[in-house]
Structure 1
Amino acid sequence: MDVRTGLIAVFCLIGLTWAQPVKYVDCGSTSGKVISVDINPCPSEPCQLHKGDSYSVNVTFISNVDSDKSTAVVHGIVGGVPLPFPIPVPDGCKSGIQCPIKKGQNYNYQALLPVKSEYPSIKCVVEWELRDDDNKDLFCIKFPVQIVN
C-alpha cells in the first residue's frame, strides 16, 4: 500500500469515529448557553441506543456564572413523565470540566450514557441538566432517542 492509500484509509477511519452533532431543544439553560451537543455513536436521529452499550455525550457551553461545582441530572421522559436515568459520574467537575467554573468561559462537558439491558425498547426524550452551585441549569437539553435491542 502506498502512502496516499494509507492516508486515505486513516482519514476514513477518523471520520467514522467522530461524534455526530444532534438536534436538541434547550429546556431552560439559565446559567449558561449551549454551543453544541454531540453523541457518539449516533449516525441518525433519533439516536438509536442499543441495550448493553454506552454512548459518549459531549456538550459545549458558555457559563454565565461562577460556580464551585456542577452536578448532572438525567431523565428519560416517557409519556410526559420524567424517569431517572442514572449516569456513572454525576459530578461535572469529573466530566471534562475544570472547576471552579468561571463566568464567560467555554466548557466541554463529557459524559458516558450507559443503556442497561433491562431498559424497555421504547422511544423517549432524554433531558440532561448540568446544575450549578445554586441548583440552576448551566445547561438543560432535550433530545429524542430510541432504545433498541
Structure 2
Amino acid sequence: MRGFLVNYLKILLAISAIREMAGGIIRTTTDAAIKKIMARRSLPFEDCGSLYQVNYLNIDSCEKIPCSMQRSSTVKVTVLFDDNGNGVSFLKHEVRWVFNYVKTQALISPDPCDGNQDCILNVNDEKTYWANIFVNETLPVMSGSMLWEAKDESNQNLICFEVPVIITV
C-alpha cells in the first residue's frame, strides 16, 4: 500500500509540474502574441539607442507618418516598453523638435514621470508611460522630427525614439 501511495504522489507531482510548465508556456506564448499585436498597431518610429525595447508607440491624433501636429496644441504620447524586470519607476524626458538639424527643446508634462503621478504603470511584464507634449506656437510650419529620450535618475538613456512630424497652423 505504501508503494502505491508513493507512486500516486509522484504521478500527482508530475502532473502538477507539467501543468505549471504548460501554464508558463501558455503565458509566455500569450505575452509574445500580445507584444506582436501591439508592435503591429504601433506608430512607426526609429529607435535611436534605447536600453529597453519599445514595443508600442501611440501619438494622439497621429495615424500615419509624418505625424501632423498643430501649433499651440497639446498632444499625448503613450509608450509601452519592456524594462527587463528592472522596476523602472522614474523617467526624465528630453524631447526636442528637429528641423533641418536645428534642435529646439519641447515642453513636456509631467516631467519627470515618477511615483507622484499616474504616468508610469505596470502592464503585465512591461511598463507603459504617457506624457503630454506642447506644440509651441513659434515652431516653423514645416516637416521635421520629434526626438524623444527618457532617462533614469542617473541620467542613463533608457528609451530613445524619433518620429517624423509636420507642424501645421
TM-score class, shorter-chain normalisation, is: 0.7 to 0.9
Q: 1:79 aligns with which of 100, 106, 109?
A: 100
Q: Which of 96, 105, 110 does residue 119 from structure 2 map onto?
A: 96
1:141 has 2:141 as partner: no
* Percent sequence identity over aligned pairs: 24
Match of 1:53 in 2: 73
AA at the equivalent of 2:62: C
Superposed displacement of residue 68, structure 1: 5.4
Instruction: Work out whether residues 70 and 131 of structure 1, in 8 Å CA contact, stay in contact via their aligned partners in 2.
Output: yes
Confirm or deny: 8 A CA contact 1:53 1:116 kept in the other structure.
yes
Matched, 1:38 2:61: no
1:82 Cα deviation from its structure 2 partner: 2.5
RMSD: 2.1
Aligned residues: 125
Deviations 1:32-69 (A, max 9, x none): 11011011111332011011222110000011445553
Unaligned runs of 5+ in 1: 1-19
The structure where helix makes up a greater share of residues is 2
- State whether structure 2 residue 44 is matched by structure 1 residue 23: yes
Q: TM-score, normalised by structure 1?
A: 0.74
Shift in CA distance, 95/83, structure 1 to aligned 2, threshold 3 Å? farther
Q: Select the structure of larger CA radius of gyration.
A: 2
List gaps (5 residues or longer) in structure 2: 1-40
User: Could you tell me which residue of structure 1 aligns to residue 137 of structure 2?
Assistant: 117
Structure of higher RCO (CA pairs closer than 8 Å, 6+ residues apart)? 1
CA distance in structure 1 between the partners assigned to 2:140 and 2:118 by the alignment: 27
